[in-house]
A and B are shown apart, each in its own frame.
Chain A
Amino acid sequence: MKWLINHWEDVLIALGEHVTIALTALVIATAISLPIGIWAAKNDRVYRVALAVSGFLYTIPTLAFLALLIPVVGLGKTNAIICMVAFSLMILIRNVATGIREVPEEVTDAARGMGMHPAEVLIRVELPLALPVIVAGLRIAAVTVISVTVVGAYVNAGGLGTLIFSGMSNDFAPKIWTGAIAACALAVAADLSLARLESRLKARTA
């Protein structure tokens, strides 16, 4: 406790770093998954291939993945962010595709009947209706990314894991406690707030 009072600034910096890395990864992963997911929703073969490849990436152990990237990109934030993006793809692509597929055909038919262009149908009808499912994916991805960021500290990416590792190597429990509890709290907070957003969106589209 005493350590925390004297070092709360360090903790805040680590927390800020953690959030920044996680958000960066999430934004990149979404930017990649959205077009692939949309394509996969319309094309069964794309769906199968995209899920097989991203599912393969998702199964690789975090630390092994970070380690395998070292010969390619070295240590640092880039390494951790590539790893996190790779882990989020499966969840995001799957949910984007599922969300769009679950839009009732009558609705898209009606939109087409109103003279909407396919791109308009996608942007004004399908994506808004798929949003709750996409946010559900974003929620799982956010938790995953926060979790991976903790390990990312080992390849010098920064974040709350830094406190844990330095606490471990100096055998200093308060640092471990602070880092680990803050990381858990961050994951739970992200999960709960996105869950709330998800149910609000669901209520709106229902």
Chain B
Amino acid sequence: MFIEAWDYLAGHQTQFLAALWRHVALSASALGIAAAIAVPLGVRLADARGTALVAINAANIGRTLPSLAVLALVMPIMGTGFAPSLFALTLLALPPILINTYTAIRQVDPDIVDAARGMGMTALEMVRKVKLPIALPVIFAGIRTAAVQVVSGAVLAAYIGGGGLGDFITAGIAMMALPQLMVGAIPATLLSLGTDALFGWIQRALTPAGLRTR
């Protein structure tokens, strides 16, 4: 079966590379947009208690929603294709990043913030030079969770015409063509594992040596 899968892959190289590229592009854009929204939002929310409660609760609910349900809900509104998939995946990536950013910024020792204020830093400087660097490992842990979720979710995007490696899987299941199915499923698994490993490595690199566990 694996030999047949290899033959199928060799015969459909351009198609495969296009799907792989689309998968990565879709995931990376969704993650990038989500981080660009959620990190600044999380930083702002950390200083705004009332709104924060609402936003964090909403994010916690958002986190529990099934990925496929979210993708499916977008379809009747936005139709199929790259844009609806990107939108749905961005929605899925927001909650973990937002929750981690908010929590991490809130956990920065108030004495340190006080000291920064005493040194005459402006609010923006405190965020940039003090709060963000301290919170970075935890924020990045959220980005890592979101990244794996997005790569995984992007497989499901095949259902709403998002393309990517899921196309091989859905077509493989529909026609019960196992080699084709493997050509989608195995690279998707490797991509997800690779993403987790890569982001884990960056996360470690961002953590000050003294704070590393294991």
Q: Which residues of A contact B (CB under 8 A)?
A: 56, 59-65, 67-68, 70-71, 143, 146-147, 150-151, 154-155, 161, 164-165, 167-168, 173, 176-177, 179-181, 183-184, 187-188, 190-191
Contacts and interface: CB of A to CB of B under 8 A. Distances in A.
Interface stretch (B46-54, B64-72, B118-126, B131-139): B64-72
Interface of B: 1, 60-61, 64-70, 72-73, 75-76, 148, 151-152, 155-156, 158-160, 165-166, 169-170, 172-173, 178, 181-182, 184-186, 188-189, 192-193, 196
27 contacts: A56-B193, A59-B192, A59-B193, A63-B170, A63-B188, A64-B165, A64-B188, A67-B173, A67-B184, A67-B185, A68-B186, A68-B189, A143-B64, A146-B66, A147-B66, A147-B67, A154-B170, A155-B173, A165-B159, A167-B72, A168-B72, A168-B75, A177-B76, A180-B73, A183-B66, A183-B69, A184-B66
A14 to B, nearest CB: 13
Contacts of A56: 193
A60 B192 contact: yes
A61 B178 contact: no
B185 A64 contact: yes
B68 A177 contact: no
Interface of B is mostly: helix
Contacts of B60: 191
Given A64-B169, A67-B181, A151-B66, 15 more contacts: A56-B193, A59-B148, A61-B151, A63-B185, A63-B188, A64-B184, A64-B188, A64-B192, A147-B68, A168-B159, A176-B72, A180-B69, A180-B72, A187-B64, A190-B64
A18 B50 CA distance: 37
Nearest to B160: A168
Contacts of A65: 185, 189
Contacts of B148: 59
Nearest to B169: A67
A119 B67 CA distance: 42
Contact of B156 (A68, A71, A151): A151
Given A61-B152, A61-B155, A150 B172 contact: no
B9 to A, nearest CB: 15
Contact of A150 (B68, B155, B160, B182): B68
Given A60-B192, A64-B184, A67-B184, A173 B76 contact: yes
Given A63-B156, A63-B169, A164-B69, A70 B76 contact: no
B73 A59 contact: no
A162 B110 CA distance: 51
A181 B156 contact: no
Given A151-B156, A154-B173, A176-B75, A68 B185 contact: yes
Contact of A71 (B1, B75, B158): B1
